[in-house]
C-alpha cells in the first residue's frame, strides 16, 4: 500500500505521470498532487507520501526548496526535470533518482523497479538527501561528495580521493588514497557514466582509473598508478586511453 505524490506546475505532466503510475505502479493506492512549493509542503505534512515525483523548476521556487524546508525525509524522491546538467550531476552523485522530461514509459518502469529495490535494501534515505542538499549548495562541482551505496551501508567520499574502481561481478571495488577500499552495489558502467567528467578513464572492461593518479604507461600495456598498482589496458582501449591521457595532462 503505497501513497504517491506529484509536484509539478504543468497539468499535462501531472496527468501523464498519473497515467503511468496507474498503469505501471500497482502498489500505489492513492495519488495526491501539488502545483507549487507552498502547496507541496502543505500536502506532504498531512499526506506523508511514500514516493514523491518532484519537479525541479516551479513558479515560486524549486524542488530543492521543498526538500530544504523539510526536517525529515520519510519518502523516496524521484526528480522529474528537463535537462539541467548541474542539478542532474548532483542527483547522480548523491545516488538519487530522476526522470528526464518528456518522460518515457520505459524509463518510468525502470524508476519504479529501482524504488522497490531501495524500499527493500535501504533502511533510510535521510543522509542521502542531506548529502544531496550539501552538493546542490556547493558552487564548485569538484567539491561534490559521492554517495557510495554498499552491501550494508552508504559512505560519502570526496571524488578526488578515489584512485581507481575495479569491477567485481555486478559490484564495484573502490580504492582510495588512504589505502582503504569499499565494495559498492553499483556497477562499473554506472561509475564510468557518473565520473567521466571528473577525468576517470575506462582502461579495461574491469578497470576505471582516476587520471590524476597516473604515474606512467609502460610498453607492455600497463598503467602504473601513484599507489604502485599496475592496471592492464585492453588492446581495444589503448588508443582511446592514450588520447585521453594527452587531453587530461595537457
pLDDT for 165: 98
Phi-psi region of 82 (alpha: psi -120 to 50; beta: other; left: phi over 0): beta
SS3 state at 56: coil
The confidence score (pLDDT) of residue 248 equals: 62
Count of beta carbons in the 10 Å neighbourhood of residue 45? 9
Residue 250 has pLDDT above 60, yes or no: no
Greater pLDDT, 237 or 46: 46
Give phi and psi for 81, each to the nearest 5.
-155, 155
- Region 195-220: mean pLDDT is 92
pLDDT band at 40 (very low <50, low <70, confident <90, very high): very high
Q: Residues of CATH 3.40.50.2300 domain(s) within the chain?
A: 2-137
- Which candidate, 14, 17, 143, 146, places its Cα nearest to that of 91? 146
Identify the band that residue 176 occupies on the pLDDT scale cut at 50, 70 and 90: very high
pLDDT higher than threshold 60 for residue 148: yes
Residue 240 predicted with pLDDT over 90:
no
What residue spans of the chain are helical by DSSP H?
11-24, 37-47, 63-68, 85-93, 105-121, 126-137, 188-195, 238-249
Encode pLDDT of 51-100 as tens digits. Answer: 999 999 898 999 999 999 998 888 999 999 987 777 888 898 988 999 99
Largest CA distance in the chain: 65
Question: Looking at the domain covering 144-249, what would its CATH class be?
Answer: mainly beta
Least-confidence region, from 76-80, 144-148, 241-245: 241-245
Residue 123 confidence (pLDDT): 56
Kindly report, residue by residue over 86-140, the tens digit of the pLDDT: 788 889 898 899 999 999 999 999 999 989 888 876 656 778 888 888 888 887 7
The boundaries of every CATH 2.40.50.1020 domain in the chain are 144-249
- Asked if the model's pLDDT at residue 24 lies above 90, the reply is yes
Specify the range with the lowest mean pLDDT, choosing from 37-51, 101-115, 141-155, 164-178: 141-155
Confidence label for 249 from pLDDT (cuts 50, 70 and 90): low
Please indicate, yes or no, whether the overall pTM of this predicted structure exceeds 0.75: yes
**Domain covering 2-137 assigned CATH 3.40.50.2300 in the classification:** yes
Confidence of residue 166 (pLDDT cuts 50, 70, 90): very high
Answer whether the bond into residue 102 is a cis peptide, omega within 30°: yes
pLDDT at residue 95, as a whole number: 87
Calculate mean pLDDT across residues 201-222.
Answer: 92
Query: What's the rounded Cα separation, in Å, for the pair 170 and 148?
Result: 14
Higher pLDDT, residue 123 or 197: 197
Q: Is 88 in contact with 46 (CB distance < 8 Å)?
A: no
Amino acid at each position: 500500500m503505497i501513497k504517491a505524490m506529484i509536484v509539478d506546475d504543468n497539468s499535462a505532466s501531472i496527468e501523464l505521470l498519473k497515467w503511468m503510475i496507474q498503469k505501471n505502479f500497482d502498489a500505489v493506492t492513492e495519488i495526491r498532487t501539488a502545483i507549487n512549493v507552498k502547496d507541496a509542503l502543505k500536502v506532504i505534512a498531512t499526506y506523508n507520501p511514500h514516493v514523491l515525483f518532484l519537479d525541479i523548476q516551479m513558479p515560486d521556487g524549486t524542488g530543492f526548496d521543498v526538500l530544504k524546508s523539510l526536517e525529515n525525509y520519510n519518502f523516496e524522491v524521484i526528480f522529474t526535470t528537463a535537462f539541467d546538467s548541474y542539478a542532474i550531476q548532483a542527483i547522480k552523485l548523491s545516488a538519487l533518482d530522476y526522470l528526464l522530461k518528456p518522460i518515457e514509459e520505459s524509463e518510468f518502469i525502470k524508476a519504479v523497479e529501482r524504488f522497490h529495490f531501495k524500499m527493500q535494501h535501504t533502511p533510510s534515505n535521510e543522509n542521502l538527501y542531506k548529502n544531496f542538499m550539501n552538493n546542490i549548495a556547493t558552487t564548485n562541482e569538484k567539491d561534490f561528495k559521492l554517495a557510495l551505496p554498499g552491501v550494508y551501508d552508504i559512505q560519502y567520499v570526496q571524488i578526488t580521493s578515489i584512485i581507481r574502481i575495479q569491477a567485481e561481478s555486478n559490484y564495484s571495488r573502490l580504492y582510495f588514497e588512504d589505502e582503504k577500499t569499499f565494495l559498492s552495489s553499483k556497477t562499473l558502467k554506472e561509475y564510468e557514466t557518473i565520473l567521466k567528467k571528473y577525468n576517470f578513464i575506462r582502461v579495461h572492461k574491469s578497470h576505471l582509473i582516476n587520471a590524476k593518479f597516473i604515474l606512467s604507461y609502460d610498453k607492455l600495456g600497463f598503467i602504473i598508478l601513484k599507489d604502485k598498482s599496475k592496471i592492464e589496458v585492453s588492446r581495444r582501449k589503448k588508443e582511446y586511453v592514450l588520447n585521453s591521457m594527452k587531453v587530461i595532462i595537457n
